[in-house]
Amino acid sequence: MAANLFEHFENGNLNAGAQRKSIASMPWNAHKEFPGVFLKNVVTGEETGGLFSCHLVRIEAGAKIGLHSHPASIELHEVIAGSGVCITDDGEIPYAPGCVTVLASKAQHEVRAGAEGLCLFAKFVSVTS
């Protein structure tokens, strides 16, 4: 059932006020920096005036999102399917369905997929300086 849960999200609908969008019709985009990582941009920063964005993220088996940070936003990961690990300055966080991780702005982190890959919902909320 867990693997099917991600399919429900990637084929679901976005409801924002009176606006309705098919998530299924949104394209998967290869990450520009990290091979084996694909994003479906469900809500973009452009749509929210830079305040919020959320993305379905699919990381192929053995692939990773390398060490990076987000200086202007807090990041939330909701693991939907697969397995892996999130590496932070505070240690390693095992990633499995049901895991939710909050990453502070400027927090260095890396996400590595396990043998079956990793699927998560990543959300970004802008912080003011």
Write out pLDDT tens, residues 30-76.
999 999 999 999 999 999 999 999 999 999 999 999 999 899 999 99
How does residue 129 score in pLDDT terms, banded at 50, 70 and 90?
low
Question: Residue holding tokens 């990453």?
Answer: 103
Alpha carbon 70 to its chain's center: 13
- Asked whether 121 and 113 are in contact (CB, 8 A), the reply is no
Task: Please check the confidence at residue 128 and state whether its pLDDT lies above 90.
Answer: no
Give how far Cα 126 sits from Cα of 32, 41, 60, 72, 89, Å: 22, 16, 28, 6, 21
Average pLDDT over residues 65-90: 95
What is the spatial distance between Cα 65 and Cα 100, in angstroms, rounded to a whole number? 17
Average pLDDT over residues 102-128: 95
- For 68, other C-beta atoms within 10 Å of its C-beta total 12
pTM for the model stands at 0.91
Residue 1: per-residue pLDDT? 38
